[in-house]
Amino acid sequence: MQGLKVGHVSHQEWGTGLTVFLFDRAAVGSYVLCGSGPASHELAPLEPDNSVERVHALLFSGGSAYGLHAANGVMRYLTERGIGLTLPHGIVPIVPAVAIYDLAHKAAFPPTDADAYQAC
């Protein structure tokens, strides 16, 4: 798809990984959240009545709530390139993230922010 880049990192030995979706231009999004214990980060920008209307990337991660920390790697990548919401004190990339519980699959090691940066 034009305007979209997708990067992925897998840890076969841990049974986890993550996928990053980077947009050439900030994008409007929405979501449906399912499950009894969803792990999420920055979903508010996807709400239709929020003042921040666009996102710069999306992260889908393993590692349950621990995998949400990987969003920091995406934010660092975008910040280094000047991509994000321009505010008086700097650039803030908007990166909604969700994670699945896969800690019991092989090993209880979640993806890291370094993994997300590499995926970018």
C-alpha–C-alpha distance, residues 66 and 90, integer Å: 27
pLDDT of residue 109: 86
Determine the number of helices (DSSP H) and then strands (DSSP E) in the chain. Answer: 3, 7
Strand runs labelled E in 28-110? 39-41, 55-61, 85-87, 90-92, 97-99
pLDDT of residue 2: 84
Task: Flag whether pLDDT at 115 surpasses 80.
Answer: yes
pLDDT tens string 53-107: 899 999 999 999 999 999 999 999 999 999 999 999 999 999 999 999 988 888 8
pLDDT tens string 8-52: 999 999 899 999 999 999 998 888 888 777 899 999 888 888 888
pLDDT of residue 81: 97
